[in-house]
Amino acid sequence: MSRRRPTLAEVARQAGVSVSTVSKVVNGHLDVSDETRRQVELLLEQHQYRPRRSPGRQPVGLIDLVFQDLDNSWAMQILGGVEQVAHEQGIGVVVSAVHDDRSRPGRRWLDNVRARSSDGVVLVLSELSPEQRSQLEALGVPVVVVDPVGDLAHDVPAVGTTNWAGGLAATQHLIDLGHTRIATISGPTRVLCSRARVDGYRSALDAAGLTVPDNYIGHGDFSIPGGYAETHRLMDLPEPPTAIFAGSDMMARGAYEALFERGLRVPHDVSVVGFDDLPEAAWAAPPLTTVRQPLSEMGQMAARTLLRMVAGGRPSSPRVELATELVKRASTAPPPD
């Protein structure tokens, strides 16, 4: 037997407030005290209340797009993919940057989502607090995630790429060139794509019978400074690597800078592989060998999935992984004699 949908009057009676107050919370109005809003939202969540949406409803409002950081071309390509789909459907995109180590948007952001009645949210390398998730659920605002941070609820759709296969391909390429001392600089351990790339790296080395010293695995934050600092650490080891697999093109660029400062040449002294295939990878000196992930397509897929949910449909798949591809350029070569 299906569970009966509670009425707003029942929720109001349990909360000790008026029906109009519950209605304001459901519809995202801001003229409700924080304490009352939290109490009502808790009851709505306990009753698994969801605002009714017409099955044929067409998206006509806004998509909220949240990034951990916007200061790179990686984010711009995903943004371009989302905006392309939004433009096709005649809706707008509101872009926010978290600029927070926790990768979570602040409370004011959620208030703004309520105020502008956003149709849905796309999170990119960022996450919501449990309270934020429950509040969006109470409002009936669907969420799609690109490259999840932390554990993701099973009912939240996610879009990513074949990160494990990409890490495997990058490392296998270096093994095929004759390298045995191969290090990796990945992103934060709580980011799922970072862990998958390291797992692919480990698998390639294990299959080749090569051991992985613990100090050959470093973690940055996908940034140039992160790659720069970790490369200096690696090259200070008693047995420094002859090849580095960086978990992003930005960290590979940081590796270039650190190696240049040390008078080491890429790829004659140290080979470097990146991950992303950003436009600047082909302009690097030397041009960067990297793993391509289709960033614009990831944004498009996330936007289409979200709009399908806004219109009352279900995502075609809860987890989508687009294919990666190794792009060989001039930053890799056999190890020095």
Domain that holds residue 175: 163-294
The total of structural domains in the chain comes to 3
Mean of pLDDT over the chain: 88
Check whether residue 196 and residue 284 sit in a common domain. yes
pLDDT tens-place string over residues 142-198: 999 999 887 777 888 999 999 999 999 999 999 999 999 999 999 999 899 999 999
Q: Is residue 52 part of a domain?
A: no
Q: What is the CATH number of the domain that holds 260?
A: 3.40.50.2300
Check whether residue 145 and residue 190 sit in a common domain. no
Check whether residue 300 and residue 157 sit in a common domain. yes
Distance CA 331, CA 266 (A): 6
Check whether residue 288 and residue 301 sit in a common domain. no
State the number of CA atoms in the 13 A half-sphere of 119 facing the CB: 24
pLDDT tens-place string over residues 30-59: 567 878 877 887 887 777 665 554 444 444
Check whether residue 167 and residue 137 sit in a common domain. no
Q: Of the candidates 269, 191, 172, 183, which has an alpha carbon nearest to the alpha carbon of residue 230? A: 183
Q: Is residue 328 part of a domain?
A: no
Q: Is residue 336 part of a domain?
A: no
Check whether residue 170 and residue 275 sit in a common domain. yes
Distance CA 37, CA 2 (A): 28
Check whether residue 167 and residue 268 sit in a common domain. yes
Distance CA 185, CA 255 (A): 9
Q: Which structure tokens are listed for 312?
A: 């009352």
Check whether residue 183 and residue 208 sit in a common domain. yes
Check whether residue 167 and residue 241 sit in a common domain. yes
Q: Is residue 206 part of a domain?
A: yes
Count CB neighbours of 45 within 10 A: 15
